[in-house]
Amino acid sequence: MAETRETRNTTDTTMTRTRTTRTRTTRTGTTRTKKQTKTPKNPKPIGGKRTECTREDFEDEIKDRIVAQCSLKDVGIFYIVLCERKGPGWLSVCLQFYNDEEGVVHRSGVLGWWRRKPKTGATCFAIDQNTFLFDSTLLLLDANWETCSSRRFSAQTRLGMAHFLTKQTSVHSTGLSRIRNTAGSDFKLMSEEGETVEVHKAVLQGVWPFFRDMLRVKQENEPQHRIKLPMPKSTLDVLMSYLYGEELQMEFHDAANLILNARMYNLPELLELAKTKVKSEPMDFQQALLLWQKSFRAQDEQVRDHASARIQQLMPAVDDFKREIQHLEKDELVALFSDVSVAMAGKMRAE
């Protein structure tokens, strides 16, 4: 099978197609289109050691080491990742940031040492680009990210600190959740199985531009009180928890679905959360195949590469490969075999 891939198309006609601006050349000279996420322009320089690399290489490097991530308005996404070991049981973390405009990654020095691996998905708030509330620790970096001082707080104090430092009160952080749990709903969202989730139209119009625009178009003819969305009920529940500011309980299959749905419905922060989830957890063959299919339809090259590499690893242990892939469309099958071929060739070159 040829190592290069054919131009990729998606069967999902409901998504707005976004053309790409970056290409990668294979050994045979064929180019492959890549999506590029632009870092917002930031008037203040980011600290840390600067190293040139592609976003794809950066994401591959940190995908299994991400402990937490947080975003800062008009700056971008900061990642806290595992970086060093110091004797048995001691692990350290550092801060990393990718600048798409310059094609460089910024890396800090060691932020601190832990006796055990910090919990993946730990809470993280960016106060500014040099100050972060990570789990129960306030991290204060100098402008060059060379030194870091820290202070630990109790869990309750941490919550209060997060509200204060981000200029939020408890009402700001839990207000929408309180509305959802106490106020009567006036609208229903229906999952692909036909189950409904009761919501508040005014709330969703305020926090979800896609919903506001969709509702405006549909109500030109007649009032709408229900809309069906093409996702399972469990994924719809995660989506609503995100929009109402509730704690997310995201299983792997929901995260895989959101690789497509969050992009389709223009929810970039939720998309990043879903990517972190799928890249930080081990996958069996069915999970890897589901993730590949969703990323293929979403035209998400990085996640698709991640899934196809895992499929290539697990294929020899699959008893009935034909049965596992029989639900895929024809164009998906062609693309899948191409992806697996590329992953296998890459593995052989690495060896």
DSSP per residue, 121-190: T--EEEEETTEEEETTEEEEE-TTSS-EEEEE--HHHHHHHHHHHTT--HHHHHHHHHHHHHSPP-EEEE
Backbone CA torsion sign across 240, 245, 251, 254? positive
Burial class (CB in 10 A: 0-12, 13-18, 19+), 58: buried
Q: Hey, what are 99's tokens?
A: 């600048």
Domain at 169-249: CATH code: 3.30.710.10
pLDDT value of position 3: 40
User: CA-CA distance, 333 to 338, in Å (whole number)?
Assistant: 9
Locate tokens 């405006």: which residue?
216
pLDDT in tens, the chain (351 residues): 444 343 344 334 344 333 333 333 333 333 344 444 444 454 578 999 999 999 989 998 898 888 888 888 788 899 998 887 666 667 888 999 999 989 999 999 888 776 666 555 567 888 788 888 787 777 888 889 988 888 776 655 555 555 554 444 444 455 576 777 776 778 899 999 999 999 988 888 888 888 888 888 876 666 678 889 999 999 999 999 888 888 788 899 999 999 999 999 999 888 988 988 888 888 999 999 999 999 999 999 989 999 999 999 999 898 898 899 999 999 999 999 999 898 888 777 766
Length of the chain, in residues: 351
pTM: 0.55
Distance in angstroms (rounded) separating the CA atoms of residues 332 and 334? 5
The span from the CA of 22 to the CA of 33, in Å, is 6
Q: CB of 278 within 8 A of CB of 259? A: yes
As annotated, the residues of the chain forming the CATH 3.30.710.10 domain(s) are 169-249
Q: What is the DSSP annotation of 268-283?
A: HHHHHHHHHHHHHS--
In terms of C-beta density within 10 A (0-12 exposed, 13-18 middle, 19 or more buried), how is residue 233 classed? Answer: middle
Give the chain's largest Cα–Cα span.
68
